Amino acid sequence: MSKLVINQKAVTPENAPAIVKLCPFGAISYTNGMLEISSACKMCKLCARKSGGIVEYVEEAKTTELDKSLWRGICVYADCSGDQIHRVTYELCGKAKKLASVTNHPVFAIMIGHNLEEKAKKLLHYGVDKVFLYDHPAFLDFKIEPYTAAFCDFIEKHHPSSVLIGATNLGRQLAPRVAARCRTGLTADCTMLEMKENTDLVQIRPAFGGNIMAQIITPNTRPQFCTVRYKIFDEPIPTEQPLGEIERMEITEKMLSSAIDVIETVDKPKDIDIAEADVIVAVGRGAASETMRTYAEELAELLGGMVACTRPLVEGNVFDAKHQIGLSGRTVKPKLILCLGISGAVQFAAGMKASDCIVAINTDASAPIFDVAHYCIVGDVNEIIPTLIDNIKGKR
């Protein structure tokens, strides 16, 4: 990686102040006889040109060209931490099949746990060509070292080009550990995935507070890792007959080594989960009054749904974080979502734009929420919602 290097031996109390003044961004400081460059540096290289050799710009070393033909297949990690396979696994299998069609690669799944034979067979109905099964009593409880060792064993033996992992509690711990062990890149919370013909996976996610959509690729290392939230992609329709095979992987004692002992596992009480709701009434700042919140709750009850909100209402302690939609909250895909007084920032839209039917109500006709909504109503929610509630009650 290209960088600025300071020759500290050449730094003196006399020349240091002049070098500090060179930086137009205030990124250079002089402390305890040492010059330091902070993260405010924009790499303009003015200090390297004007410091008389005290600051030097070092070019990035050329990377060895990767033979991408040695890496083949798109792998999905099957999250079996509970009694069932997490549904994000099925969504990723469907997406992996679409990505694999571009490069004509197979779709793999890796399962780690105990007594997983039946669950592995189920994946064969979702477009997986081969399930690699690490089944052992030591994998019954999630322990990061054995799971990482098993995952890396699979990668070393089968060289998948891309690895898709659900952004579950388990996946968020496992993905960075395995990616770091493989010395490769990882993109978290992707909202879109595209495949190039050269097998580079384009991983798209909001960046800089949701102001841009960043397209990230890992062209010089393999495999390519990404995590994806539940409800981002469509779950495929399972086939009647299994279309792949299961391969049981060899498990060594070294693989099972761990410094962690699980003494007891306690099930967490079932919590509010707006991601599972078929109908959502989402409230934004334009509908944050106590009266409107009451109306939203009444409307949700009439429609058999749940109330959700945007981030500002959570930050203002109006709603609990469990009700927040967006990349910093929950990703949802209901059959119907009503957006009341919501402008439609990228972070929020990315968390709900896959909904079957989006109805948006806002006084601002140019609000970004109307770019993703199926039905757009320009008007005051304080007038429209009470009328809508009365009409629903009248129909019933």
Backbone angles phi, psi at 18, to 5 degrees: -65, -35
User: What is the pLDDT at residue 206?
Assistant: 83
pTM for this prediction: 0.80
pLDDT digits (tens, 9 = 90+) for 88-128: 999 999 999 999 999 999 999 999 999 999 999 999 999 99
User: What is the pLDDT at residue 183?
Assistant: 94
Which positions ≥6 away from 7 have C-beta within 8 Å?
A: 53, 54, 55, 56
Q: What token pair was written down for 20?
A: 């500090």
d(CA 299, CA 280): 10
Number of neighbouring beta carbons within 10 Å of residue 3: 12
Strands 74-78 and 162-166: parallel
Task: Note if the bond before 223 is cis, omega within 30 degrees.
Answer: yes
Nearest to 180 by CA among 216, 142, 214, 152: 152
For the segment 341-357, the average pLDDT, to the nearest whole number, is: 92
d(CA 334, CA 357): 8
Partners of 226 in the β-ladder = 164, 187
For the segment 196-221, the average pLDDT, to the nearest whole number, is: 89
The secondary structure of residue 322, as a DSSP letter, is G
For the segment 71-92, the average pLDDT, to the nearest whole number, is: 93
Domains parsed from the chain with CATH numbers = 3-58 (3.30.70.20), 69-256 (3.40.50.620), 274-395 (3.40.50.1220)
Which positions ≥6 away from 365 have C-beta within 8 Å?
A: 378
Q: Is the pLDDT of residue 1 over 80?
A: no
Residue where the block lists tokens 């079932």? 270
Nearest to 210 by CA among 72, 7, 348, 60: 348
Residue where the block lists tokens 């390519």? 224
Percent above pLDDT 70 for the chain: 98
pLDDT digits (tens, 9 = 90+) for 292-344: 999 999 999 999 999 999 999 999 999 999 999 998 899 999 999 999 999 99
For the segment 261-283, the average pLDDT, to the nearest whole number, is: 88
Q: What token pair was written down for 180?
A: 């770091």
d(CA 144, CA 27): 39
Q: Is the pLDDT of residue 81 over 90?
A: no
Q: Residue 62: which pLDDT band, with cuts at 50, 70 and 90?
A: low
d(CA 312, CA 288): 10
Q: Residue 20: which pLDDT band, with cuts at 50, 70 and 90?
A: very high
**Beta strands, E only, the chain:** 3-6, 28-31, 34-37, 55-58, 74-78, 107-113, 130-135, 162-166, 186-190, 192-195, 201-207, 212-216, 224-228, 245-248, 279-283, 306-309, 336-340, 358-362, 375-378
The secondary structure of residue 239, as a DSSP letter, is P
Q: Is the pLDDT of residue 194 over 80?
A: yes
Letter string b/e over residues 172-207, b meaning 16 or more CB atoms within 10 A of that residue's CB: eebbebbbeebebbbbbbbbebebeeebbbbbbbbe
Q: Is the pLDDT of residue 259 over 80?
A: yes
Residue where the block lists tokens 């997406």? 95
d(CA 100, CA 160): 12
